[in-house]
Chains A and B, each alone.
Chain A
């Protein structure tokens, strides 16, 4: 079974869709997942800007730092449980939680941790250092955003995507995995893309932007390629 690391930022609904798909492929026995962290607001900083202050202000800072604390106390698998619990509250609920900190706290609890882990994570500067370290690690592998899948448990080739609007059925899920894996390992392949004519099929995405748990929509239409 292939070991795959999925890097995520909880504020991206496309990333959460890819995670739902990856979790299903794991349930079908095709892959063994673990999770890596990434921060879109760090990625969007102007060149040379210091990402340290974003540890307090980034929309997903409390979620990512809690994930780092979960990793330290338990495992990357526990980070995955936390991400799924969070996604079910902010993306899969028809009325997404408006209180982001409460969503993070409840999700940590659901993943098996005490509520205090969130405050502990925010009080410990090492949690943001760990988020930035994992972010940097992905960038150094050529990571350009999330979702990004890294094969061989994080040591193999990295590929951005798959960007999917809906969760495929079992058969298509497995075939999509085989295709993503084949293309990721074929190092002569760089890109396949179509205009995003659909939005993520997630109830939490359909609410007005002001009510999104993580604030603005972190997605822009594609720019022309050359």
Chain B
């Protein structure tokens, strides 16, 4: 490379804020790559959150009243960063990602579509893994302002920096530019990871480049042990939600995420064994 931007292979590491939502296995895969690059001294990471559920809401759906499935983890994330710093948040996301995606699916799958642990429970376990107090989850869930804090941050990244999904890398120590990706199916080896970083950084600093994309089938899953199982769970819940979105249904005209929240509420109000609706 003849004209490298600061930090892309020479000199000081480039400071990048990594935006995540624990719901995306692709995002977790990219975060593993980013940590590998950080370990080689090419980048200094900070961590931020963006809610994929909120991104997908229709304009007339109020995110303040959305009971987001990944809300407990995102609320814990923002509170933990406030209390213990961005490095602690990075460790929390690593622990959460490992528990969610880098663990074997439960016994019984694929014969049975074994349900996943709640995001409350898995967030408590992730805090325990990094020697933080699991009670933080209960504190944030008792405080509605913790969801407002997530929404404020989400609004900042989407409205001020143009972020629209995860993973997003916000270069310039979080000041921009913000770039979605790189979307990766598996973790690169170290040499490839560093070469990829140089390419991504070079492109990010060329504001006239907007997109490069390879076809990715909807059925493709990230190369992570739990991705097929969790993907199957999500597809099943999407199908239940779509049934509510049909003409005349209770969620006609609603967004998929809004309808999925309704499916979760219905499941919580029906005792096990009874069929909903």
- Measured between beta carbons, the chain A residues less than 8 angstroms from B207 are 198
Asked if A194 and B162 make an inter-chain contact with CB atoms under 8 angstroms apart, the answer reads yes
Chain A residues positioned under 8 Å from B180 (CB to CB) = 191-194, 225
Bitwise interface map of B from 179 to 192 toward A, beta carbon under 8 Å scored 1, else 0: 11111111010001
A175 to B5, CA, bound (A): 13
B37-45, B93-101, B113-121, B197-205: which one contacts chain A?
B197-205
Q: Does A160 contact B (CB under 8 A)?
A: yes
User: Looking at the complex, which one of B1, B177, B188, B199 makes contact with A194 (CB distance below 8 Å)?
Assistant: B177
B3 pairs with A196, CB closer than 8 A: no
Residues of B within 8 A of A (CB): 1-3, 23-24, 26, 52, 55-56, 162-165, 177-186, 188, 192, 195-196, 199-200, 202-204, 206-216
Nearest-neighbor residue (CB-CB) of A144 within chain B: B215
Q: Report chain B residues within 8 Å CB of A158.
A: 214-215
**Residues on B with beta carbons closer than 8 Å to the beta carbon of A164:** 208-210
Q: A193, B211: Cβ atoms under 8 Å?
A: yes
Instruction: Sample 12 A-B pairs with CB under 8 A, ordered by A number.
Output: A158-B215, A159-B212, A164-B208, A176-B209, A179-B199, A184-B214, A187-B214, A191-B211, A191-B214, A192-B183, A193-B179, A194-B177
The residue among B181, B206, B215 with the most chain A CB atoms within 10 A of its own CB is B215
B206 pairs with A192, CB closer than 8 A: no
In the complex the two chains form, what is the Cα distance from A195 to B26 in whole Å? 19
A153 located at the interface, meaning its Cβ lies under 8 Å from any Cβ of chain B in the complex: no
Q: Which residues of B contact A163 (CB under 8 A)?
A: 209-212
Rounded to whole Å, the gap between the CB of A7 and the closest CB of chain B is 13
B190 → chain A, closest Cβ, in Å? 14
Centre residue among A160, A166, A195, A198 by max chain B CB count within 10 A: A195
Give A84-142 interface residues, CB cut-off 8 Å to B.
142
| Known contacts A191-B216, A224-B164, A226-B52, A186 near B210 by CB under 8 Å | no
Q: Which residues of B contact A186 (CB under 8 A)?
A: 192, 196
Distance, CA A225 to CA B55, complexed state (A): 9
Question: A residues within 8 A CB of B188?
Answer: 188
Asked, given contacts A183-B199, A188-B188, whether A162 binds B211 with beta carbons under 8 Å apart, the answer is: yes
Complex-state Cα separation, A53 to B3, whole angstroms: 50
Q: How many residues of A contact B (CB 8 A)?
A: 41
Instruction: Please give me the 8 A-B residue pairs with the lowest Cβ-Cβ distance, nearest first.
Output: A142-B215, A195-B162, A225-B165, A192-B181, A163-B211, A190-B183, A161-B212, A191-B183
Chain A, range 47-99, C-beta contacts under 8 Å to B:
none
Set A159, A172, A195: member contacting B206, Cβ < 8 A: A172
Given the known inter-chain contacts A163-B209, A172-B206, A224-B55, please indicate yes or no for A190 contacting B165, CB distance below 8 A: no
Residues in B neighbouring A196, C-beta threshold 8 A: 210-211
Measured between alpha carbons, how far is A224 from B178 in the docked complex, in Å? 14
What residues of chain B lie closer than 8 Å to A183, measured between beta carbons?
199, 212
**Given that A188-B186, A192-B180 are known contacts, is A143 also in contact with B215, CB under 8 Å in the complex?**
yes
0 or 1 for each of A169-186: is its CB under 8 Å from B? (1 = yes) = 001100110011011101
